[in-house]
Every structure is written in C-alpha cells, then in structure tokens.
C-alpha cells in the first residue's frame, strides 16, 4: 500500500517506520528540516510541511491510507482554526483514500464516570478544537474515516512520572488513570488497516485503570524517583472503556516500565 503519515513526531515516526518494515511505500511529513534526513534514512519519503502550509496535492495521489496525526498544540495558524485546517486538508484527498484521525480521550467530559463510545458529540464540549475536528471530518469523509481516541501516551523516553516527580504534587490521587503504550497504538492502527475497520470510532486505552496514587507510586519506585504527594479525591472521575468490535488484544502492559 501507499501510506501517508501526516505528523512524524514521537508517535508518527515509529509508526511510519513500522509501515516501511511491513513493505509499504510511506510518505512522512515533518515541520523540522533537520528531521528530513532521518525520515529518508528510515526509508520514508520525506515532506517538509505544516498544517498552515499549502500541501503539494501530487504527493497525495494514490495514497491508500492516511494517518492524520497533528495535535492542536502543533498548529500555529491564527487565520484559520485547527478543525477548519484539517477539514480543508482532507478536501485534497482522493475519494478512495481512507483516513485514521488520531484524536484523544480528552474529548469526553471529565466528570464522565464511564467514557465509552455511546457518548454523542452533542454531550461533548464543542469549544474544544479536537471535538470540532471529529465532527467536521466525519461530515466530510463519512465512511472513509476512522477516529482513534487515545488515552495518555507512554513509551520510550516518555512517562508522566518524570514531570510529576519534579512537580511534587498530584491532584485527585484516587482518580482512575487512562494510559496506552506506543506499541499498542501501532498495533491498533495496523489492526484497523488490516481489518478494514472504516467508518468507526474507537478508544485506545490499556484495559486496566489503576488510581493515580497506585500507579505513579509504583512508577516512582521503579525509576528511583521521589514519589509526589497525592491529594485525595477523584474517585468516580473519567475511566476510559476500550471495548470495541475490533477486538484488539493489548500486548504492552502499562506496568512494563522497562519499555519506557
């Protein structure tokens, strides 16, 4: 297949390399000219591009699957919103191109006890650009779009305990924690493509939700960091339900700290 990964950062770059290893032709975008050589060395066709820039439509010809992996924080275009920028970009795609939009479980209200797929858009905060992006892309791409809402990302050189230990204080220590390892994100995306799981929405979250206090205490102990002080409260706050008809089997436990 010909696959485009729009946004080759911490997640997108290893994802693109995975697609190359599977024998696909892979296009990868970056906003950093310094990373172009890294992409090329990995067998990825590099394109220097940001969401505020005009895209070379020729690059999108024949693309079977496009991974849209640009968070709102990575866009700096004051003249047009993040959601409108994504919608405009998707107008450049051929009618046969399938799209996976990397979204976030942050679209669910924080006070939702069980964050699952039954929650409709009209119960979400539509002042959030990610929510608006899901709505606009669904309207534009219809059955060619699958939305993957990811919980907190962990993986190589990325674990929240590092910053939390420095901060020294964590609110709502009894709140459930929603995390997913990089390897499972890549596994989920491969499964979506292999199973032709299009026109769907699903959550990406490891199916265990320990409390912040329980989990971060263990993480601090493993990494030999001073554990933060945990404020009580948060019991009953958002717990992400990862059940879906895709039937993906998670392979990387959030407790496998040696993978961080």
End-to-end Cα separation, the chain, in angstroms = 31
Residues 6 or more apart whose CB falls under 8 angstroms from that of 102 comprise: 7, 11, 67, 68, 69, 71, 148, 150
Q: How far is it, in rounded angstroms, from Cα 9 to Cα 65? A: 18
Q: What is the pLDDT of residue 58?
A: 81
Q: How far is it, in rounded angstroms, from Cα 199 to Cα 109? A: 23
Is residue 76's pLDDT more than 60?
A: no
Give the model confidence (pLDDT) of 172-189 as tens digits. 999 999 999 999 999 999
Q: How far is it, in rounded angstroms, from Cα 230 to Cα 209? A: 17
Q: What is the pLDDT of residue 78?
A: 61
| Angle, CA 150 vertex, CA 144 and CA 154 arms, to 5° | 140
Q: What is the separation of C-alpha 167 from the centre of its chain, rounded to a whole number of angstroms?
A: 25
Q: How far is it, in rounded angstroms, from Cα 38 to Cα 28? A: 11
Query: Would you say domain 2-157+178-207+239-259 falls under CATH 3.40.50.720?
Result: yes
Report the share of the chain in percent with pLDDT over 90: 89
Give the model confidence (pLDDT) of 112-152 as tens digits. 889 999 999 999 999 999 999 999 999 999 999 999 999 99
């Amino acid at each position: 297949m010909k696959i485009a990964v729009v946004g080759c950062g911490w997640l997108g770059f290893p994802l693109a390399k995975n697609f190359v290893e599977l024998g696909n032709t892979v296009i990868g975008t970056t906003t950093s000219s310094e990373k172009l050589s890294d992409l090329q060395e990995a067998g990825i066709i590099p394109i220097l591009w940001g969401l505020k820039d005009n895209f070379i439509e020729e690059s999108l010809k024949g693309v079977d699957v496009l991974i849209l992996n640009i968070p709102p924080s990575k866009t700096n275009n004051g003249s047009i919103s993040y959601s409108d920028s994504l919608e405009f970009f998707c107008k450049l795609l051929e009618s046969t191109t399938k799209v996976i939009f990397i979204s976030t479980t942050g679209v669910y209200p924080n006070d939702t006890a069980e964050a699952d797929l039954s929650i409709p858009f009209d119960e979400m905060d539509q002042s959030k650009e990610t929510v608006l992006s899901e709505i606009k892309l669904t309207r534009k791409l219809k059955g060619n779009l699958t939305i993957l809402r990811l919980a907190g990302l962990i993986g190589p050189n990325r674990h929240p305990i590092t910053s939390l230990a420095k901060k020294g204080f964590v609110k709502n220590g009894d709140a459930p924690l929603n995390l997913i390892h990089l390897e499972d994100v890549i596994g989920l995306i491969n499964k979506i493509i292999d199973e032709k799981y299009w026109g769907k929405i699903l959550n990406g979250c490891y199916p265990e939700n320990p409390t912040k206090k329980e989990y971060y205490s263990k993480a601090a102990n493993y990494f030999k960091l001073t554990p933060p002080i945990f404020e009580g409260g948060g019991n009953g706050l958002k717990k992400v339900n990862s059940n879906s008809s895709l039937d993906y089997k998670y392979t990387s436990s959030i407790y496998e700290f040696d993978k961080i």
